[in-house]
Amino acid sequence: MSKFVEIAYTVGMKFLNWYVKIAVGSALIGASMEFFLIKTGFYDKVTVLESEKRAWDSSPEGQAIREALNPWRKHDPEATKNA
């Protein structure tokens, strides 16, 4: 059994270098993508769009449209009657 553990440890150490390289490369790619998104103002634009969407959803028009498009609107009263 110890021979198997020794072989597994040797193989694991052999590929550890590749795992470290892949982890570092992935971290660099992720960091560069985040840097690009920040520098282009992507997050600022998304924040504005999300706030506009939430304002619309909380308005009476938005609530009426959401209620009209709800496919379960006829099923909800039936569920409360049966409960």
Which stretches of the chain are DSSP H helices?
2-39, 42-58, 60-68, 75-82
**What is the rounded CA–CA span in Å between residue 51 and residue 73?**
26
What's the pLDDT at 68?
86
So where are the chain's domains? 1-40, 41-83
Per-residue pLDDT tens digits for 37-68: 999 999 999 999 999 999 998 999 988 888 88
Instruction: Note the pTM of the prediction, 2 decimals.
Output: 0.54
Query: Do residues 17 and 24 make contact, with C-beta atoms less than 8 angstroms apart?
Result: no
Return the number of other C-beta atoms located less than 10 Å from residue 62's C-beta. Answer: 14
Q: What angle do CA 45, 42, 38 make, to 5 degrees?
A: 130
Q: Does the pLDDT of residue 21 top 60, yes or no? A: yes
**Band of the pLDDT at 74, cuts 50, 70, 90?**
confident
